[in-house]
């Protein structure tokens, strides 16, 4: 079975403090579902297309674990901290 990647690309961030609170809370949920952070940062170079302010990539053992994490009460509590303070794209993609 292949792994899954949770990819979040941030277009706008209104409050770094809110983002930090969200990240602390979200990390607890992600760890509970055995997520492993691969990327947490700002772009070094944008070679094509638009540059995002921040990109986060988390690897999970499978798509179901990634979805369970997102839908969990722990993650949704973290997400509620973030609501309205960022504009981002979040996708779960099956790895190869």
Kindly state whether residue 73 falls inside one of the protein's structural domains: yes
Q: How far apart are the first and last CA of the chain?
A: 9
pTM (two decimals): 0.91
Q: Is residue 64, in this structure, part of any structural domain at all? A: yes
The DSSP code for 51 is P
Domain presence at residue 15: yes
Quick one: which H or E segment has residue 54?
strand 54-60
Q: Would 96 be classed as within a structural domain?
A: no
- Domain, as residue range, for 15: 4-44+51-91
Q: With respect to residue 37, please indicate whether it lies within any of the assigned structural domains.
A: yes
Count of structural domains within the chain: 1
Percent of residues in the chain assigned helix, strand, coil, to nearest 5: 40, 35, 30
Inside any domain, residue 30: yes
43-72: per-residue pLDDT in tens?
889 999 988 999 999 999 999 999 999 999
Nearest C-alpha neighbor of 56 from the set 92, 28, 14, 85: 92
pLDDT for res 58: 98
Q: Domain of 33: which CATH number?
A: 3.30.70.100
The DSSP bridge pattern shows strands 36-41 and 86-94 to be: unpaired
Percent of the chain with pLDDT strictly greater than 70: 99
């Amino acid at each position: 079975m292949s792994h899954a990647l949770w990819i979040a690309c941030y277009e706008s961030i209104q409050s770094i403090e809110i983002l930090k609170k969200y990240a602390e809370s979200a990390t607890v949920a992600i760890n509970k579902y055995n997520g492993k952070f691969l990327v947490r940062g700002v772009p070094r170079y944008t070679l094509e297309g638009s540059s995002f302010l921040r990109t986060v990539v988390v690897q999970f053992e499978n798509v179901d674990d990634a979805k369970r994490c997102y839908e969990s009460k722990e993650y949704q509590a973290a997400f509620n901290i973030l609501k309205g303070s960022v504009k981002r794209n979040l996708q779960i993609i099956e790895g190869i």
